[in-house]
Structure 1
Amino acid sequence: MDVNQLIDGLIFYIGLLVLLTFHEYGHAWMALRCGDDTAKLQGRCSLNPLVHMDPIGTVVLPLLMIFLPGAGQFLVGWARPVPVNPYNLRHPNRDQILVAMAGPAMNVVLAVGLLGLARICELVGFAGLIELLARMAWLSLLLCFFNLIPIPPLDGSYLMRQLTGMSHETYHRIAQYGFLIVILVLQVPVVRRLLTDVTHFSWVMIATVFGLGG
């Protein structure tokens, strides 16, 4: 790996940290709006990346995917789940879904903002930033759809739990092994392909709105 690849990988990793931080902040912000201040009291309603970092999901796995040959084509990661006390929520069934979906929604908002900024850079001639912003937007969308996988404790699992009527106890038992299951599921080529295709399609749709090439 040459110096340019190393620098590019580090920039991409910093971008991932920013995206994950905003994702978790989205959860904490929505929980607070719905009546639960657990995350705020634990210092998680913050844009400080350090309070959200998970040793495996935020450090080890992303760095391996970035710096191992060929692995950087598919980059995912996660932060520490934001603590939510459902008994503090004003409307527990509805609000748990709102809190869970706030993270992926934040990633969509970030992708739109990044591609909008890329378009501005194109108009004013800052060509050097366009590719980086476009890649970060793509990664933000990938994180959105990755987190919608219905495996505890990913965000999509909360919607699945509500639809199936799964008890909190059963959910948390599965969640203890959830990220191991997620890592195994990501080894299935059809899953990776589906995530990539949905991400690319969404990226193209947003980029087209801003007049950027797909």
Structure 2
Amino acid sequence: MTFAETRRARSEDRRISPVFWVLLAVLGTSGWAVWSGYGGDPGVGVFLFVISGWMVSLCLHEYGHARTALHGGDTTIGAKGYLTLNPLKYTNVLFSFVLPVVFVIMGGIGLPGGAVYIERHRIRGRLRHSLISAAGPLVNVVFAAVLLTVVGAGWFEAQQSHAYQDGPPMLHSAMSGALAYLAMFQVSAALLNLLPVPGLDGYGIVEPWLSPGAKRAVEPFAPYGMLAVFALLWQPQVNRFFFDAVYAVTGLFGVGTDYIATGEYLFRFWSH
């Protein structure tokens, strides 16, 4: 392969996928519709905005892992298509993309993804391994911080009316509610993913620093880590504690549960 062909191949490996551009287009268009009040009832617009925003964040989450792995020493990342932001390139589209979206539609939690295959033997140094695992949740943290800052500053509270068609009066604008609801999923995904449980990024952060004996002791339970977490979240007391933590984080930015309730009500337009 010539030098020119090599450069062309690298360019193709890193070219942003049309799929991601479509997601951004849906996010921008639906956001404009919600803000401008186009179409009257903003429910469908809020739904599309939150779903497309969540899908964009999933792509960026996996991109964070991949990009950090590339700089950490795994030069195979580009050839796998992970730098194109195309969710169809993930090793498991169902667990990394489909199920997280289904959970959002069901009104659940921000289900952590995690389906970029990194050739860890190419990475040298425990710190690099930890940074690769931390990069994904950090994307969710930044995403949430930006959204919550905007909502907490009241940038979108000047919308013309909070009384929506065929619905009760809302305390906040549709755009503020949509942003807050999307931010809630980012916070929940970050908190879940940072748990030091096998199968989650939190364990990937601490695992390089464990002794060989500790790693061997954890290994038999690794396939069941996420199942155990979600089984616990089904328990009302644990679920309440978890969401109290989520709302405590959003509250730090001046975004109370009333903002999130507005977004959730509009998002679930089919139920009213």
The normalised TM-score by structure 1 is: 0.75
Confirm whether residue 157 of structure 1 aligns to residue 203 of structure 2. Answer: yes
Deviations 1:90-109 (A, max 9, x none): 32x11111111111111111
| Matches of 1:149 and 1:156, distance apart in 2 | 5
- Whether contact under 8 Å (1:62, 1:75) holds in the other structure is no
Pair 61,95 (structure 1): closer, same or farther in 2 beyond 3 Å: closer
Identity of matched residues, %: 27
Deviation at 1:189, TM superposition (A): 3.1
2:253 is aligned to 206
- Which residue of 89, 100, 110 corresponds with 2:143? 110
Deviation at 1:75, TM superposition (A): 1.8
| Matches of 2:191 and 2:95, distance apart in 1 | 20
- Which residue of 31, 56, 64 corresponds with 1:18? 56
| Matches of 1:125 and 1:46, distance apart in 2 | 36
Deviations 1:50-78 (A, max 9, x none): 334631453246425634xxxx2x32323
| Matches of 2:44 and 2:192, distance apart in 1 | 25
Greater relative CO (CA pairs within 8 A, separation 6+): 2
The normalised TM-score by structure 2 is: 0.61
- Whether contact under 8 Å (1:38, 1:83) holds in the other structure is no
Q: Which runs of 5+ in 1 are unaligned?
A: none
CA RMSD of aligned residues (A): 3.3
- Whether contact under 8 Å (1:54, 1:80) holds in the other structure is no
Confirm whether residue 84 of structure 1 aligns to residue 130 of structure 2. Answer: no
- Whether contact under 8 Å (1:54, 1:79) holds in the other structure is no
Confirm whether residue 141 of structure 1 aligns to residue 187 of structure 2. Answer: yes
Deviation at 1:183, TM superposition (A): 2.9
- Whether contact under 8 Å (1:18, 1:49) holds in the other structure is no
- Which residue of 101, 123, 126 corresponds with 2:134? 101
1:195 is aligned to 242
Q: Which runs of 5+ in 2 are unaligned?
A: 1-40, 161-172, 261-272
SS in 1 for 2:82: coil
| Matches of 2:74 and 2:133, distance apart in 1 | 13
Deviation at 1:44, TM superposition (A): 1.3
Give the aligned length.
202
- Which residue of 24, 35, 39 corresponds with 2:73? 35
2:34 is aligned to none
SS in 1 for 2:252: helix
Task: From the CA coordinates, give the structure whose radius of gyration is larger.
Answer: 2
SS in 2 for 1:206: coil
Pair 61,140 (structure 1): closer, same or farther in 2 beyond 3 Å: closer
